[in-house]
């Protein structure tokens, strides 16, 4: 940190300390008497104002004469949100009415979905001013609420102590006040203080690696709508039909799945549509000009209807838990939580032979006609987990031999039905599924009897070798794409909106992306060895079945609504292109406006007008705590450079050199720092670009014509 920046932050901290809960008695009055600064943003006055939204978690009683009534027992509170909030403010002001016997029971906080750096400020005498009729006015200055000038989009008022029933607190006249001139001057000085020098380079002389457009794929599962606005605003290039329920989808019935262990092994109609789900899925993809990847069942059973259950209480007896909406649908566990024996597969399912699946492929070809969107067929989903997720029809763990045998039978049927198809597999779930069979997992990885019976060879290597030998003997190629799933296993790095967002976990989430590519990175989880997934996949293919394409059929780094999740996703997408992955499908798709959403848009549409990351990846070098990705257009006239600043506190002053390239004719720079409305155009050049903390920056360069 520079000396100037350090001094400014120290001054801010001193100002905040002067307003701390235990201030020096010589400068803090016991009770405020002065009026707060003028309110410039009204949040609640008798009702919510403007576009402010109620996101609170505590119960609300009906308003009393326009005053909000919030039940704050059990540490209840109110969250008021306006995601487009911009500007600088002096503080938060509001008035409340509650029994005096409760004392100082409130605290106030500003907050954001994309940062976790705002302190909770306990309301004390220095914040309070007595009004008439039992009301108290509160003013909490931004020096306490937001000492680092971070962007926020919500105000939270909550109880910090237990208060007695019924715990109703009246609130009104909530707003933001005009900014203090001194703080504005400090903020301006802080923002203009130079950041840390950071050198980046792009090798324009390199031949480059073509970037497959299919790496910008998302997922469809029957639990989500087929064509939501959020889905398409990500600007995906492909969608994968998949997930646990896809293993039991009955294409003939059109809307019949089995929810597996995810939801009481029930047959369900998730979509409630008149048309078949698979036809609607393909129609939507074609309408949005995206490619389709379809998971085909090869488990051998599909749902026979939309009502049957895998562990019916009437037939199999009482169970640990049942569907609250269907008392006959048990979870398959006894009172002690141990699995009970399953009934026959016909409780829920009918046989799904290779020919049954081939009929679906032929139906897909007929439905698509000349306007083909299907890019690949994937042979089922995570077979190493069938004995758990689908144990009502497949209670025995899959072995090395069963996986290959099923792949050959079902893959051959698909090839006969659609000779042009790309066939992918085995869509395994994660690290142990790459190295061992499900039978090994059940027996114990130390004993690994199935692997030892197959020359102690990792499952995927053996699988590829056997399929290559099958092609040599028969001339039938049943696999074109090696497809594996990847989820980081580090503690707190969850899936989707889940996952911890403390400073340590945020840094871990971003580091965990190195397991995709870095042979030097020791995975910081129970794996505790280098995963190096993409180089590992390349090595397996080169040694056992040269020429196959590579796909990551599911992945997710968690914390989609936090900037650490967005940065991890942006890093992963950059690596996919840099390392020549054929396809990748995010699970499922990022919520609109989230940092993960804008990570996608960094590559697909960063200016809101269709400007996208280019098509030929170029080698780059990046500064510490940062990443750089670059690509040129096929004609060399355009170059895009994407820079990631992983530091949550330090601004970087970037200097980007283009090795072997002339200076661009024009350049544009766009930056995203976590706000829901995405990228904004900034001033900056290759030699001087400001990268704020936790940011994604895209440079678009128009290059001169070659003479």
As a whole-number percent, the residues of the chain with pLDDT over 90 amount to 82
Closest by CA position to 303, among listed 352, 262, 340: 352
Does residue 488 sit in helix, strand or coil?
coil
Does residue 688 sit in helix, strand or coil?
strand
Report pLDDT digits (tens) over 587-596: 999 988 899 9
CA dist., res. 247 & res. 258, Å (int): 8
Instruction: Give CA separation, 139 vs 46, 243, 513, in Å.
Output: 19, 50, 43
Residue 338 reports pLDDT greater than 90: yes
Determine the pLDDT at residue 224: 60
Determine the pLDDT at residue 230: 63
Q: How long a stretch of residues is the chain? A: 707
Determine the pLDDT at residue 227: 44
**What is the mean predicted confidence (pLDDT) over 222-238?**
74
**What is the mean predicted confidence (pLDDT) over 126-146?**
94
**What is the mean predicted confidence (pLDDT) over 100-125?**
88
CA dist., res. 593 & res. 155, Å (int): 19
Q: What CATH homologous superfamily does 210-605 map to?
A: Glycosidases (3.20.20.80)
Determine the pLDDT at residue 150: 80
The strand pair at 481-486 and 106-111 is best described as: unpaired
Determine the pLDDT at residue 6: 43
Is the torsion defined by CA of 19, 24, 27, 31 positive or negative? Answer: positive
Residue 15 reports pLDDT greater than 50: no
Provide the 10 A C-beta neighbour count for residue 35: 10
Determine the pLDDT at residue 229: 61
Closest by CA position to 267, among listed 390, 384, 358: 390
More confidently predicted of 271 and 214: 214
Report pLDDT digits (tens) over 523-535: 999 999 999 999 9
Lookup: tokens for 365: 């070809």
pLDDT band per the 50, 70, 90 thresholds, residue 11: very low
For the chain, give me the number of helices (H) and strands (E)? 17, 37
**What is the mean predicted confidence (pLDDT) over 482-493?**
96
CATH 2.60.120.430 matches 3-192:
yes
Report pLDDT digits (tens) over 365-421: 999 998 899 999 999 999 999 999 999 999 999 999 999 999 999 999 999 999 999
pLDDT band per the 50, 70, 90 thresholds, residue 95: very high
Report pLDDT digits (tens) over 556-578: 999 998 999 999 999 999 999 99
The strand pair at 638-645 and 168-178 is best described as: unpaired
- Calculate the average pLDDT of the chain: 91
Q: Which of 323-337, 441-455, 633-647, 663-677 has the lowest mean pLDDT?
A: 663-677
* Cβ-contact 641, 698 below 8 angstroms: yes
As a whole-number percent, the residues of the chain with pLDDT over 70 amount to 92
Lookup: tokens for 186: 């400090």
**What is the mean predicted confidence (pLDDT) over 472-501?**
92
The CATH topology of domain 196-207+618-702 is Immunoglobulin-like (2.60.40)
Lookup: tokens for 487: 């989820």
Backbone angles phi and psi of 506, in degrees to 5 = -60, -45
Determine the pLDDT at residue 470: 98
Element housing 595 (H / E): helix 595-604
End-to-end Cα separation, the chain, in angstroms: 45
Domain ranges of the chain: 3-192, 196-207+618-702, 210-605
Residues 6+ apart with CB under 8 A from 459: 400, 403, 428, 433, 434, 435, 436, 437, 451
Q: Model's pTM, two decimal places?
A: 0.82
CA dist., res. 124 & res. 139, Å (int): 10
CA dist., res. 37 & res. 138, Å (int): 12
Residue 271 reports pLDDT greater than 60: yes
Residue 8 reports pLDDT greater than 70: no
Does residue 135 sit in helix, strand or coil?
coil
């Amino acid at each position: 940190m520079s000396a100037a920046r350090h001094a400014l932050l120290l001054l801010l901290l001193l100002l905040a300390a002067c307003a701390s809960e235990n201030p020096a008695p010589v400068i803090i009055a016991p009770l405020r008497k002065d009026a707060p600064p003028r309110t410039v943003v009204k949040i609640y006055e008798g009702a919510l104002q403007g576009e402010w939204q109620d996101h609170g978690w505590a119960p609300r009683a009906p308003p009393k004469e326009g005053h909000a009534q919030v039940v704050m027992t059990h540490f209840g509170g109110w969250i008021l949100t306006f995601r487009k909030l911009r500007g600088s403010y002096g503080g938060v002001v509001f008035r409340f009415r509650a029994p005096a016997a409760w004392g100082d029971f409130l605290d106030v906080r500003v907050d954001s979905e994309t940062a976790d750096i705002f302190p909770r400020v306990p309301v004390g005498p220095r914040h309070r001013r007595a009004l008439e009729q039992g009301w108290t006015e509160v003013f909490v200055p931004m020096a306490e609420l937001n000492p680092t000038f971070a962007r926020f989009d919500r105000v939270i008022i909550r109880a910090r102590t237990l208060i007695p029933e019924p715990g109703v607190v009246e609130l009104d006249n909530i707003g933001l006040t005009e900014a203090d001139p001194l703080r504005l001057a400090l903020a301006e000085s802080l923002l203009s203080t130079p950041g840390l020098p950071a050198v980046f380079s792009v090798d324009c002389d390199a031949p480059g690696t073509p970037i497959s457009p299919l790496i910008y794929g998302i997922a469809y599962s029957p639990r989500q709508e087929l064509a939501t606005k959020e889905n398409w605003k990500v600007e995906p290039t492909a969608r994968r039909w998949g997930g646990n329920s896809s293993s039991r989808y009955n294409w003939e019935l059109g809307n019949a799945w089995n929810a597996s262990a995810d939801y009481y092994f029930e047959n369900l109609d998730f979509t409630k549509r008149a048309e078949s789900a698979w036809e609607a899925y393909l129609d939507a993809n074609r309408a949005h000009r995206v490619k389709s990847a379809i998971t085909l069942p090869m488990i051998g059973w599909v749902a026979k209807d939309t009502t049957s259950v895998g562990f019916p209480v009437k037939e199999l007896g009482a169970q640990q838990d049942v569907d609250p909406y269907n008392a006959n649908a048990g979870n398959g566990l006894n009172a002690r939580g141990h699995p009970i024996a399953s009934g026959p597969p016909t409780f829920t399912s009918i046989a799904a032979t290779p020919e049954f699946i081939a009929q679906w492929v032929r139906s897909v070809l007929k439905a698509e006609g000349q306007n083909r969107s299907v890019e690949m067929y994937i042979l089922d989903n995570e077979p190493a987990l069938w004995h758990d997720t689908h144990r009502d029809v497949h209670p025995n763990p899959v072995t090395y031999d069963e996986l290959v045998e099923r792949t050959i039978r079902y893959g051959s049927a698909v090839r006969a039905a659609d000779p042009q198809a790309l066939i992918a597999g085995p869509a395994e779930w994660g690290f142990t599924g790459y190295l061992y069979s499900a039978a090994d997992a059940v027996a114990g990885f130390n004993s690994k009897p199935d692997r030892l019976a197959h020359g102690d060879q990792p499952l995927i290597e053996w699988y590829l070798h056997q399929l290559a030998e099958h092609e040599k003997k028969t001339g039938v190629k049943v696999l074109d794409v090696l497809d594996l799933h990847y989820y980081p296993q580090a503690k707190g790095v969850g899936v989707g909106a889940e996952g911890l967002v403390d400073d340590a976990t945020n840094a871990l989430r971003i580091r965990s992306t190195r397991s995709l590519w870095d042979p030097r990175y020791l995975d910081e989880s129970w794996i505790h060895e280098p995963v190096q997934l993409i180089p590992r996949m390349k090595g397996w293919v080169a040694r056992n079945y040269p020429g196959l394409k590579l796909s990551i059929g599911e992945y997710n780094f968690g914390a989609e609504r936090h900037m650490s999740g967005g940065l991890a996703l942006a890093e992963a997408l950059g690596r996919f292109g840099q390392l020549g992955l054929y396809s990748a499908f995010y699970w499922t798709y990022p919520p609109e406006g989230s940092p993960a959403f804008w990570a996608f848009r960094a590559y697909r549409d960063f200016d809101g007008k269709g400007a996208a990351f280019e098509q030929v990846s170029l080698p780059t070098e990046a500064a510490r705590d940062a990443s750089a990705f670059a690509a040129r257009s096929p004609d060399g006239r355009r170059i895009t450079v994407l820079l990631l600043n992983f530091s949550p506190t330090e601004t970087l002053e970037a200097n980007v050199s283009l090795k072997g390239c002339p200076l661009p004719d024009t350049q544009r720079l766009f930056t995203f720092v976590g706000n829901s409305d995405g990228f904004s155009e900034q001033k900056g050049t290759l030699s001087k670009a400001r990268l704020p903390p936790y940011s994604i920056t895209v440079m678009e360069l128009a290059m001169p014509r070659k003479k």
